[in-house]
Amino acid sequence: GGLVWRGCSGDCDAEDGSAGTLADGNANPGDKLEGSDAAPDDPVHLKRRVGLFSGVALIVGTMIGSGIFVSPSGLLERTGSVGISFIIWMACGLLSLLGALAYAELGTMNTSSGAEYAYFMDAFGGPPAFLFSWVSTLVLKPSQMAIICLSFAKYAVEPFVSECEPPDALVKLVALISIVMILAVNCYSVNLATNVQNIFTAAKLVAIAIIVCGGAYKLILGNTRHLQEPNFASSTATLGNIATAFYTGLWAYDGWNNLNYVTEEIKNPSKNLPLSIIIGIPLVTLCYALVNVSYLAVMSVSEMADSEAVAVTFGNRLLGPMAWLMPLAVTISTFGSANGTLFVAGRLCFAASREGHLLDILSYVHVRRFTPAPGLIFHSLIAVAMVLYGTIDSLIDFFSFTAWIFYGGAMLALIVMRYTKPHAPRPYKVPIIIPYIVLIVSAYLVVAPIIDNPQWEYLYAGAFILAGLLVYLPFVKWGYSLPFMDKITVFLQMVLEVVPTSTTFE
């Protein structure tokens, strides 16, 4: 039989606890999808299996990851005030909600799987769409992976170095080990990866529940002292500072657009897509608000700002002999998120190289395991470099800066298409003011930190995006290929035991 891409199908999923979705949605005509209704020669039609509940679960499961366990300290440090940092937490939730609603229009208007890639293609044409897949496969996804693995490492080493700062080299080493482990899981089997995902999603909900209940208990005992210092006066906020504080907060909310990768699989999308967003994102916002309050019920502002791993500090204060529970739950949660992120990253890479946008080898899958091993290895290598040369905070800034350029771009795409395609069917139509607001805010988020405090990272990110054009013209548009590339591809194919997905045996 033919070797077909067996991505996420049947009852597996990515990055969340929802049932059976091709979470990244990178289905291509000709793919066989188990459980799909498609007749053999039909272009693929995915079964619509994501209802309201799974939609909400998918949003919540993707958004909650490492951020809520690492960002609160950084945000407090950057704003210098409980009041302002709380406002920023809530504003990040609101911004994600508005952004997601605009994405709901885009996603129901163009249901094809590439999400941003497809919207840019429709609104602006090839080059911007290429730049998006270029940046998301080479920068965005690996940096997500690096940030989450560094957070994992922070929590994994913290219990062993109590009361003093863990050596940087140790944290990085543990982060590297976690990348290798996650890579192994994902190369070994799709099923293993999705099982890890489901089990580990539960762990993060447990962690959040422990924190919220513990905090509530403390507050009932009357421990409201630290909450009563919302002294805006002590704030260190400048315009650029606020923008980078937003980067920190928005990291915790990132993933709000993930339903757009599965729009094809949502039942009654014009109703369920916006509804899942309207329920899911405020739910996450509420969790984050409660967690922040809980932290402050247990520690002071300066303790929180100084804490290396705020949930560990929380556990040590509150859980007594059960304190080990907290770092354990957070390591499991972050490991699960990193796993889900690599899972999706592998598929993105796979889809981009199929479009001829990346090296062919990256779209090949393992002969027996059917995992997109080359893409996964490639991503992990970039993530390794980022772990070695970056810190959580610098990577979050780098990530958020780059991501918001493209989120803003998607808003612009929506607005442009209201003019260029006024009659295209829009099953869900967002009030036009919303994309304008998000566009303006994202422009501010991207520009303010550069003006306020220019840093090399921003320049690198900008240069990298533009460098994409240098690749696009010769290799994609004019179709040149490097002379020795064929030999390298064949060599890698033999070493990694991978084949193109259209290969037919017999």
144 binds ligand ARG (CB under 6 A): yes
Residue located via tokens 């290429």: 130
- By CB under 6 A, name the one of 22, 57, 63, 97 that touches ligand ARG: 63
* Residue from 9, 85, 110, 337 binding ligand ARG (CB under 6 A): 337
Indicate whether 150 belongs to the interface with ligand ARG (CB under 6 A). Answer: no
Q: Which amino acid is at 375?
A: G
Any residues with CB less than 8 A from the CB of 433 and at least 6 apart, and which? none
Q: Using the 8-state DSSP alphabet, how is residue 478 labeled?
A: S
Could you tell me which stretch among 61-69, 364-372, 453-461, 486-494 binds ligand ARG (CB under 6 A)? 61-69
Q: Is 248 in the site for ligand ARG (CB under 6 A)?
A: no
133 binding ligand ARG? (CB under 6 A)? no
3-class secondary structure, 364: coil
Q: Considering beta carbons, is residue 253 or 314 the nearer one to ligand ARG?
A: 253
Interface with ligand ARG (CB under 6 A), residue from 26, 54, 66, 85: 66
Angle between helix 168-188 and 141-157 (nearest 10): 120
Query: Whose structure tokens read 């984050």?
Result: 288
Of the pair 338, 361, the CB lying nearest ligand ARG is at 338
Q: Least Å distance between CB 345 and ligand ARG?
A: 9
In the complex with ligand ARG, the residue whose CB is nearer, 207 or 252, is 252
Per the listing, tokens 């795409």 go with 413
Among left, alpha and beta (phi > 0; psi -120 to 50; other), residue 130 is alpha
- Tell me which residue of 101, 485, 93, 500 sits closest to 286, measured CA to CA: 93
Smallest distance, ligand ARG to C-beta of residue 183, A: 16
Find the shortest distance in angstroms from Cβ 92 to ligand ARG.
10
Nearer to ligand ARG, 47 or 347 (CB): 347
Q: Which stretch binds ligand ARG (CB under 6 A): 84-92, 117-125, 250-258, 424-432?
A: 250-258
- Using alpha carbons, select from 300, 347, 333, 330 the residue that is nearest to residue 9: 347
Residue the block writes with tokens 């070797």: 3
Q: Determine, following the binding rule CB under 6 A, whether residue 258 of this chain makes contact with ligand ARG.
A: yes
Q: Give the shortest CB-324-to-ligand ARG separation in angstroms.
A: 22
Q: Per CB under 6 A, does 61 bind ligand ARG?
A: no
Rounded least distance, CB 284 to ligand ARG, Å: 9
Under the binding rule (CB under 6 A), the answer on residue 67 touching ligand ARG is: yes
Minimum distance, C-beta of residue 319 to ligand ARG, in the bound complex (Å): 22
Amino acid at 31: D
| 333 binds ligand ARG, rule: CB under 6 A | no
Q: Among 82-90, 123-131, 249-257, 353-361, which window interacts with ligand ARG (CB under 6 A)?
A: 249-257
Instruction: Compute the least distance from the CB of residue 185 to ligand ARG, in Å.
Output: 16
Q: Kindly give the interhelix angle for 67-79 and 239-253, rounded to the nearest 10 degrees.
A: 170
Cα 357 to Cα 233: distance, rounded to the nearest angstrom: 51
261, two tokens:
């990768």
Instruction: Report the distance separating Cα 224 and Cα 226, nearest Å.
Output: 6
* Residue 341 C-beta: closest distance to ligand ARG, Å: 4
Three-state DSSP at 205 gives helix
Determine the size of the site formed for ligand ARG (CB under 6 A).
16
Range in contact with ligand ARG (rule: CB under 6 A) among 152-160, 248-256, 271-279, 382-390: 248-256
Please compute Rg for the chain using Cα positions: 22
Based on the shown chain and the rule CB under 6 A, indicate whether residue 260 belongs to the binding site for ligand ARG: no
Asked whether the beta carbons of 83 and 231 are under 8 A apart, the reply is yes
Tell me phi and psi for residue 430, to 5 degrees: -85, 145
Identify which of residues 62 and 244 has a Cβ nearer to ligand ARG in the complex. Answer: 62
| Run of H or E including 366 | strand 365-366
User: Is residue 402 packed enough to be buried (19+ CB in 10 Å), middle (13-18) or exposed (0-12)?
Assistant: buried
397 contributes a contact to ligand ARG by CB under 6 A: no
Enumerate binding residues for ligand ARG (CB under 6 A): 15, 62-63, 65-67, 144, 148, 251-255, 258, 337, 341
